[in-house]
Amino acid sequence: MGELILSEKVGRTSDSDITVFDSTGIALQDLLVSKLAIDNANAKNIGQEVDL
């Protein structure tokens, strides 16, 4: 992640690219990524909210 942020590595170059992010063991990053995913889904009006 840091290399992408610092532009040391190239991320996705097209919509057909797939990004796999493994944040095993880093709960704070898990929370941030899940919030970003929810915010993006809400902005695109996709997904389904489920009450647990």
DSSP per-residue letters across 4-51: HHTTSS----STT-------TT-HHHHHHHHHHHHHHHHHHT-S----
Percent share of the chain, pLDDT over 90: 40
pLDDT tens digits, 32-50: 889 999 999 999 999 988 8
Query: Residue 28 pLDDT > 90, yes or no?
Result: no
Say yes or no to pLDDT of 25 above 80.
no
